[in-house]
Amino acid sequence: MKNLLIALMMSIGFVGVAAADAAAGKDKSAACVICHGEGGNSAVATFPKLAGQNANYLFKQMKNIQCGALSADEQKTQKCISRSVPTMVGQLDALSDDDLTDIADYFASQNASASQANAELAVKGEEIYRAGIRTKNVAACTACHSPTGQGNGPAGFPALGGQHADYIAVQLRAFRAAADGLPGRANDGDIKIMRDIAYSMSDSEIDAVSSYISGLY
């Protein structure tokens, strides 16, 4: 089991976060408030909540977004993992790894706000989250993201509980698109954990589990 966890951490491009300064991170993240809200609690469903997210995951995503801003040749030279987020273009260009660790630590130290699940969708969503979809070989979300949706900080698996349902659904569809060879999200590592899971999910299944997660605490 220990070796499997190490392999998973390596496959998703896990990067350990160095000692960080949350107070400095608050100052450095001032511009983030525009989209992600005060303390990282976004009020707009298309922008993810960052509050309470584990620092390892936040650091990795910011590094991936920085990579996504590079040319294809630069990405190849740096051997970095790319994530394209149009709304983040230019936002992280001037930030060092120390800046990113401070920002990640700041948001990780904040309390996430509550979200409300759609009661009808959440019934089906809970089944998927806790048991997966056996007929499609879709694993239960609890395996990586924990029964309470708090994720796994040391492994870099994100906390999901309370996240906007719309944002989660968009990300799952992006993973599914990438798995189908279309433009999407492919920064889940060589073993394609999220791409393989999302590829087998229908729109209704994605919407259901996303809604359940949004109300999970």
Q: What is the model's pTM? A: 0.89
Cα–Cα distance, 147 to 20 (Å, whole number)? 28
CB within 8 Å of 107: residues ≥ 6 apart: 25, 29, 39, 40, 50, 51, 52, 53, 55, 58
DSSP-assigned beta bridge partners for residue 157: 152
Cα–Cα distance, 36 to 51 (Å, whole number)? 9
DSSP-assigned beta bridge partners for residue 133: 138
Query: Are 167 and 48 a contacting pair, CB within 8 Å?
Result: yes
One-character DSSP codes across 6-67: HHHHHHTT--------HHHHHHHTGGGHHHH-GGG--SSTTS---TT--HHHHHHHHHHHHH
**Tokens found for residue 4:** 């499997």
**Tokens found for residue 104:** 């990640």
Query: Are 188 and 98 a contacting pair, CB within 8 Å?
Result: no
Q: Tell me what pLDDT residue 37 has.
A: 97
- In order of their start, the domains of the chain are 13-108 (1.10.760.10), 119-214 (1.10.760.10)
The tens-digit pLDDT sequence of the chain (217 residues) is 434 343 444 344 444 444 568 899 999 999 999 999 999 999 999 999 999 999 999 999 999 999 999 999 999 999 999 999 999 999 999 999 999 999 999 999 999 999 999 999 999 999 999 999 999 999 999 999 999 999 999 999 999 999 999 999 999 999 999 999 999 999 999 999 999 999 999 999 999 999 999 999 7
Q: Give the CA distances from residue 62 to residues 69, 96, 111, in Å, rounded to whole numbers and listed in that order.
A: 11, 11, 20
Q: Tell me what pLDDT residue 156 has.
A: 93
Q: Tell me what pLDDT residue 22 has.
A: 87
Of how many residues is the chain composed? 217
